[in-house]
Structure formats: structure tokens, C-alpha cells
Amino acid sequence: MGRLLRQSLGHKKLSVWKLVLMVLSLLISMEIILNLTIGFGPVIASILALIAVALGSVFCFVFIYKDLSKYDYRLIDKELILERSLGRANHVVYVILASDIISFISYNKKDKENKISWLKYLTAHNDKSKWYLISYKKDDKQMQLVIEPNEDFLHGLLEFIEKEATQAIIDIENIN
């Protein structure tokens, strides 16, 4: 049997005050839009207010999205499996074979001048010094993911990349 290494980044506690503030801001913005557009007629004002509530709801969901998501990292034999889950039905899974890994670098060392066309964040916290960028190829395209491994998972991942993905470039800051 091969190696198995796992890490989970759990949900953050969602503040009740944050939710109350978002609901109040939605209601206040709907009221302001209704008052500003009432001169156009009640039907148009109502439609614009509903559009404002829908856009505000999407904005609020995006704002608290990181707090609701759970991230799982698994390292099994020659595969790195990264998963983002939001509730029971919304799961996104990335399976990266060792032979497909191009590079593994510290997020702070990424080239800021070259725009990265396809970059997904699988992180739960905002401490960018603990983020790492993994590049891999899939279907002749280069994909890039930002992950936030703890020290044990990072050591295991570095060992995995050095042993299994011998062509990969590793450029991270010194770790203990």
C-alpha cells in the first residue's frame, strides 16, 4: 500500500453580525432604489429593486463564500487530490498526477508581471505567506492552483514532488 496524507481546511465561523449587516444593507439598498425610481412608475421601480436585491445577494454570497467552503487535500500514491466543497451538492475535485506537475512555488514568488490566465484559490485564510502555487498540465493546457498546506502536508508534498515528479521545478522559501 502506498502513502496516504490528508489535510482539511474547515469552515470558518460565520459572524451573526456579518449576516445581519448584509441583510440590512440589502433592505436599505432596495428601499433607496425604490425611492429613487418611483418616478418611473411602480412596476419599473419594483423590477429595479428586485434586480438590486438579486445583485446584492450574489455580492453577499461571494463575500462570505470563503467562510462557507471546506477544502480537502489528499496525497495518495502518485496522485494529489484537491477538493473544494460547499454544502452537500457542490464539490469541485482536482486530481493531479505526479507526472503532470510542472512547478511548485511559494505564492509570494510568482511572477506578478505575467498574468496567470487560469488560477483557482483553494485557501481558507488570508495569510499569503503560507500559500503555494502548483502548476500542472491537463489536456495540453497549463493549470494553476493556489493551496494552503500545513507543515506536515507541505513536507509530504515536497517529498512527493521530489520523488515522483522529477521534472518539476520547486522554488519555495525555507521551511523548518
- 92-139 pLDDT, tens per residue? 888 988 888 888 888 887 766 566 666 777 777 778 888 888 888 888
Assess whether pLDDT exceeds 60 at residue 174: no
Rounded to two decimals, the pTM is: 0.68
Taking the mean position of all CA atoms in its chain, how far away is CA 119? 9
26 with 85, same domain: the answer is: no
- Between 107 and 175, whose confidence is greater? 107
What three-state secondary structure class fits 85? strand
112 with 143, same domain: the answer is: yes
55 with 36, same domain: the answer is: yes
Buried-state track 49-79, b at ≥16 Cβ within 10 A, e below 16: beebeeebeeebeeeeeeeebbbbbbbeeee
CB 126 within 8 A of CB 100: no
Domain that holds residue 51: 16-68
Tens digits of residue pLDDT in 42-54: 888 788 878 887 8
87 with 46, same domain: the answer is: no
86 with 166, same domain: the answer is: yes
150 with 78, same domain: the answer is: yes
Query: Would you say residue 159 lies in a domain?
Result: yes
